[in-house]
Each structure stands twice: as C-alpha cells, then as structure tokens.
Amino acid sequence: MSVRKKQRTSLIRNNQTDPMEDLSLSGTDPELTKTHNPYVEGLASELSAILDLDELETKIYLNLLRTGPITASALAKEINVDRAKTYRTIDKLSSNGIVSISFSSPKLCIASEPDEILSITLKKKEEEISKIRKDGKKIVDKIKEISTTDSKSTTPTFRIIQGIENITSQIERILENNTDVFYLITTLEDVSKLYHTTIPEKVKQTERNGGTVRLVVDEIPDKMKLFIKRFGASEVRIGKLPSKGRIAVSKSCPLSGKLLMSDSAVKGNLHENTDAECALFTNSDEMTNNIFTLCTFIWKGSAPVEL
C-alpha cells in the first residue's frame, strides 16, 4: 500500500469492511488505527449534533479533513459511497459553507476549517432565533386580538417534560424570572451535567434580579470545590438528599410553573440518553409551597460549605 493511499484511509469505514483485515494489511499504521478509535466515533456523533449534519455529511467532512484536497469521484470511491450521492452531498455542504470547491481542473473538494464552520453555525442559529422572536411577537399579538377569553388561568396544572435538554431549558427559564429564593437540590454528578448548560449564566441573572440560588448537594470532595464555586450558586451546602433525583423550585417565578422535579439523573453527558430523563413541572401553589418547605428543612439541616 502506498504512503499516499495510507493517508487517504477512510475515517469511517463501510460496515462490510473487516477491521481486523484492515489492520493486518496496514501493519501498525497509526493513521488507520485512528479510524477504529472509539473517541473518533464519539467525535463524529457530537459534530453531527452540533452542526446538524446527517451521517453521510459528517463522514464526508471528517474524511476531507484527513485527506486534504481530493476530487469528489476519488472521495466517493474511498468511502465506498455512490458517486451521485456523494456529489449531491458535497453540493449541499458547499452551499452551507462547510466544503469549498477549487477552480482547478479537476475540481477538488476542500474542507473548511472547524473554527470557521462553528462561526457559520452560530450565526445561522442567531439569525433563526432573531426571526422567531420577530415573527413570534407578531403572531402572539394577532392571537390576542382574536381571543375572546383570558388565556391566563389560576387552575393548577402540570405537564411532563421529556429529555434532559428540555428539562434544563425549563430550569433556565425559572432562574431568569426568579426574584426570591430558588432551591436546587441534586447530586454532585448532576451539577457537573448542568454546568455545561447556560444555567450558571441564569444563576447570575437571578442574582441581578435580586434573587438567591441555594444549592444543596450530597457531597463535595476538596478537588471539586473550585468547580462548585464556578457553578455560581449564591450559597452552597452539603446535606442528605431525599432522593437521587433533582428538585428545582421557586415561589416567585411568574411563569406557568415554578416547581420542577426530575427522576434520577441519567448517567452520561448532555448528548447521551437525551430522551431518557423526564420531569414533572407544575404551577400548583400548594405543591410548590409544600416542596419549598421541604427544601427549606433540607437546607437548614445541611452543612455550609466555604468555597
């Protein structure tokens, strides 16, 4: 096998390829060994989620990063994908700024730098959010014009929230509207998961609104104290938790709900088991007051932590 061929070894192999056969052909080629690294597979999954790419788009982009400039035909042959399908996918990636095409003959496909792609993705998402805010406000105003009844109700309601991202999003909404005491009762492991969301930023927003965030966790090893400090809670204590689940409650949040209770936090990061966790979310004053009182007792029985 030539050196050039080795460098173009596909990052993601076709399912029909025998990994042991590849390794025997390449000896101890470090480039080929990388293709079977579980870390690379995880990287492909995360890249797909962040950039909203499908499996083939991710496959093509990562292979272009490995091979450097290459013709679409050669790339299709290398990753064992139909040429027409490869051409269509490259055209789509080119339109989105993820892949560039050279003016040379033959034309070469070139992967954009990862930093550039992230910037493009962020700009696109910001434009989408801006459009939703602008158009959404108009739609809400129109709905209010034709509504014959007051949509607000004092009737206690609840709903089940599915998925860790939806749950953390709801906690963020409570925090950004909280003006008094907010309790977060959960495990240290769960705090490490919540840290990688915008919750720490919303904690600061609560404090700017005049509110206080009280965090109670089951343990804080010395090596984790700096991490907990960065989470940003106004006050932190270590105590005995009623369960391995998560309680987030505020009596001052003027939303449709102010109490959220989740089941036991699912192991893994935010991109794993995203639909496996669920939570109860309610606006019931009675339930909120009861759980808030429980959290107050837990708080008083917990030990203060100096961070």
pLDDT tens string 92-104: 999 888 899 999 8
* Per-residue model confidence (pLDDT) at position 185: 96
Neighbours of 197 (CB within 10 A): 17
- Average pLDDT of span 115-126: 84
Across 179-276, the runs of DSSP E, i.e. the strands, are 181-185, 212-217, 235-238, 246-250, 259-262
What is the DSSP pairing of strand 278-282 with strand 158-162? antiparallel
Residues 36-81: tens digit of each pLDDT: 444 456 677 777 777 778 888 988 998 998 889 999 999 999 889 9
The structure tokens listed for 25 are 């052909």
- Asked whether 239 and 298 are in contact (CB, 8 A), the reply is yes
> Higher model confidence: residue 4 or residue 182?
182
| Letter string b/e over residues 111-127, b meaning 16 or more CB atoms within 10 A of that residue's CB | bbeeeebeeebeeeeee
Q: What is the dihedral of CA 176, 181, 185, 189, to 10 degrees?
A: 50
Position 84 confidence tier, pLDDT thresholds 50, 70, 90: very high
For the chain, give the percent of residues with pLDDT over 90.
Answer: 39
DSSP collapsed to 3 states, 75-99: HHHHHCCCHHHHHHHHHHHHHCCCE
Q: Cα 271 to chain center, whole Å?
A: 6
Using alpha carbons, select from 24, 27, 19 the residue that is nearest to residue 3: 27
- Asked whether 89 and 108 are in contact (CB, 8 A), the reply is no
* Per-residue model confidence (pLDDT) at position 152: 55
* Per-residue model confidence (pLDDT) at position 29: 40
Q: Cα 255 to chain center, whole Å?
A: 24
* Per-residue model confidence (pLDDT) at position 151: 53
The structure tokens listed for 178 are 């909280």
Distance CA 142, CA 290 (A): 38
Using alpha carbons, select from 196, 238, 198 the residue that is nearest to residue 219: 238
Distance CA 174, CA 206 (A): 9
Helix (H) or strand (E) holding 296: helix 285-300
Beta-ladder partners of 70: 109
Using alpha carbons, select from 208, 209, 184 the residue that is nearest to residue 197: 184
Residue 239, φ and ψ in degrees, nearest 5: -155, 175
Residues 269-279: tens digit of each pLDDT: 444 455 678 89
* Per-residue model confidence (pLDDT) at position 301: 95
* Per-residue model confidence (pLDDT) at position 76: 92
For the chain, the average pLDDT equals: 80
* Per-residue model confidence (pLDDT) at position 257: 67
For residue 15, pLDDT beyond 80: no
The letter for the amino acid at 10 is: S
For residue 199, pLDDT beyond 90: yes
* Per-residue model confidence (pLDDT) at position 283: 87
